[in-house]
Amino acid sequence: MINIPIKSDTYIINANDFSVAGKVSSDIKKDLKKLGIHPKIIRRTAIVCYESEINIIIHSIGGKIVFELYEDRIVINSEDRGPGISDIELAMKEGYSTATNEVRELGFGAGMGLPNMNRWADEFRIESSSKGTLIKMTIFL
Ligand SMILES: Nc1ncnc2c1ncn2[C@@H]1O[C@H](COP(=O)(O)OP(=O)(O)O)[C@@H](O)[C@H]1O
Ligand SMILES: [Mg+2]
């Protein structure tokens, strides 16, 4: 029973579409509020979702975020097609970013996305190849 999600939503994210940056995390936030989830859990979920969607927008050629709420946890799967991350250890370092100046001028590219996902998720798994990136994050309720 614990392996059947109470709620599951898939969000398609297009590359370079800054007009919707933050939309996925704010939608998920609203849903979790309605469901009466603890504000601390909502905050952590919103942070990791936000960083995932921004990374898909700025670093990939498109992807999706699958959100799942279970009785005991929230699972966020971020999956994209794109160049992937060749050196994950380096990419995980605070402040490391390959974002362009153009992207930085828009206020993104501080190099804190992956470190924050790792910090706020209870479980963080990342797999990447030259075809794309897969991140699975779990937050226990
Ligand atoms: N989905 C992704 N696809 C390709 N590269 C990525 C992806 N996510 C992160 N990266 C690489 O890892 C670096 C660090 O990511 P992050 O900590 O989120 O910082 P930022 O997004 O501000 O650059 C990025 O600059 C990029 O080089
Ligand atoms: Mg980022």
Taking all residues of the chain, what is their mean pLDDT, rounded to a whole number?
97
Mean pLDDT, residues 6-29: 96
pLDDT digits (tens, 9 = 90+) for 59-77: 999 999 999 999 999 999 9
**Does residue 82 have its Cβ closer than 6 Å to ligand 1?**
yes
How many whole angstroms from 1 Cα to the centroid of ligand 2?
A: 35
Let me know if residue 127 belongs to a domain: yes
**CA-97 nearest atom, ligand 1:** 25
Let me know if residue 116 belongs to a domain: yes
Mean pLDDT, residues 97-103: 96
> Percent of the chain having pLDDT more than 90?
98
Query: In this model, does residue 1 exceed pLDDT 60?
Result: no
Could you tell me whether strands 132-140 and 73-81 are parallel, antiparallel, or unpaired per DSSP bridges?
Answer: antiparallel
Distance CA 96, CA 110 (A): 8
Mean pLDDT, residues 86-111: 96
Q: Let me know if 116 is exposed, middle or buried by CB neighbors in 10 A (0-12, 13-18, 19+).
A: middle
Let me know if residue 8 belongs to a domain: no
Structurally, the chain folds into a number of domains equal to 1
Domain with 73 in it = 18-140
**Does residue 135 have its Cβ closer than 6 Å to ligand 1?**
no
Let me know if residue 119 belongs to a domain: yes
Residue 65, SS3?
strand
Let me know if residue 4 belongs to a domain: no
**Does residue 132 have its Cβ closer than 6 Å to ligand 1?**
no
Global pTM reads: 0.96
pLDDT digits (tens, 9 = 90+) for 101-134: 999 999 999 999 999 999 999 999 999 999 999 9
Q: How many CA atoms lie within 13 A of 75 on its CB side?
A: 17
Let me know if residue 99 belongs to a domain: yes
| Domain CATH number, residue 123 | 3.30.565.10
Let me know if residue 13 belongs to a domain: no
**Nearest by Cα to 57 from 89, 95, 25:** 25
